[in-house]
Amino acid sequence: MNLFARLSITLCVALLPACKDSDAGETSSATSTGGTTEAPGTSTSSGTTAAPTTSGSSTGEPPKDSCTAVTSEAECLTKDACTWKGVVQYTHGAQGCQGNIVDFCIARDTAGSPSAWYREVDGDAQVVEFGYSPDDLPGEWTECSCDGPLTCLCPSIAPDCPDRLGEFCGAIGAELACGQVTTHGDLVCDWFSVSPEGPKDDTCADSAEKKLCLPATMVGAKSCTPPTYTLMNCGTWPQELFWRELNGVIEVITVCGPRPLGWTQCLGDDTPEQPDECNCRCL
């Protein structure tokens, strides 16, 4: 071994710690994932750092500037954009639609058309009619539609839901309330005497008549022009007759004035399509 080689080996041994530090520094620089200097974010399984998200998910909390989320008059009065005012709240049941005034914190700037909204309170639907279109209601509120509770049909600005009138009227159990209830601004229900006559078998049943609140046109009318009946027992009958088949049972109504929606008027003369049960109410 020559002198130059011996000097090189001796120098490397003497400087061995320095040689290792140099190698480790190069390795660290090549494989670092940021260590304590990485930017805030979420570490992924690959060892890299994902950028923090800024969109987030809804917490269900109302907007910070919401007026309608405020529940006390004192707090409402501290907000320049809000005012404490009465709005109409509705319920619906056996007595029909009932409205009463409740205090709400609402926006001073009442832009937009009147609207009705509902939320669940103690297992029941609270429906409130606003004189404008609020855009700051908390997340538990939903604007009334035909998919909402029946009470949504009570406000003067109710949605037009003809397919739900049977439920809406049928839930009313009092004659006075039935004839006065409105939806979409129109009277839509009336009180009828209904006789179940059993299956379509040309035989009158002994079932007692029942009083029902049903969807109707000409609500509150008191006069009619019945046809001249040639049906058995009905020759001088002074009222109009209507029939329907419900769950295999023929039901008959006799009335002069309002007309039940979804029912067929009994003709003066018998026809193959018309059940003989039409004459049962003339007995």
Angle at 96 between CA 93 and CA 100, to 5 degrees: 90
Higher pLDDT, 122 or 171: 171
What is the distance between the alpha carbons of residues 100 and 81, in angstroms, rounded to a whole number?
25
pLDDT in tens, 9-41: 333 333 334 443 434 344 333 333 333 333 333
What is the distance between the alpha carbons of residues 12 and 80, in angstroms, rounded to a whole number?
80
What is the distance between the alpha carbons of residues 86 and 90, in angstroms, rounded to a whole number?
13
From residue 181, alpha-carbon distances to 96, 127, 174, 178, 252 in Å are 6, 16, 11, 6, 24
Half-sphere exposure of 112 (CA within 13 A, CB side): 12
Helix (H) or strand (E) holding 244: strand 240-246
- Residue 258: pLDDT band with limits 50, 70, 90: very high
Burial class (CB in 10 A: 0-12, 13-18, 19+), 57: exposed
pLDDT in tens, 170-199: 999 999 999 999 998 899 999 999 999 999
The three-state secondary structure class of 226 is: coil
> Residue 5 pLDDT > 60, yes or no?
no
Domain ranges of the chain: 73-171, 189-282
Q: What is the rounded radius of gyration, in angstroms, for the C-alpha atoms of the chain?
A: 39
What is the distance between the alpha carbons of residues 213 and 172, in angstroms, rounded to a whole number?
6
Beta carbons within 8 Å of 271's beta carbon, 6+ residues apart: none
- Residue 245: pLDDT band with limits 50, 70, 90: very high
| Mean pLDDT within 255-281 | 94
What is the distance between the alpha carbons of residues 100 and 137, in angstroms, rounded to a whole number?
20
Q: Report the C-alpha dihedral over residues 97, 101, 102, 103, rounded to 10 degrees.
A: 150
pLDDT at 66: 86
Phi, psi of 51 (to 5 degrees): -70, 140
pLDDT at 1: 44
Tokens of 8: 């090189």
Whole-model pTM over 0.95: no
Angle, helix 3-14 to helix 16-31, in steps of 10 degrees = 60
Question: To the nearest whole percent, how much of the chain has pLDDT over 90?
Answer: 63
> Residue 4 pLDDT > 90, yes or no?
no
Higher pLDDT, 40 or 67: 67
- Residue 135: pLDDT band with limits 50, 70, 90: confident
> Residue 62 pLDDT > 90, yes or no?
no
- Residue 61: pLDDT band with limits 50, 70, 90: low
Least confident of 59-63, 136-140, 144-148, 221-225: 59-63
Nearest C-alpha neighbor of 186 from the set 235, 219, 212: 219
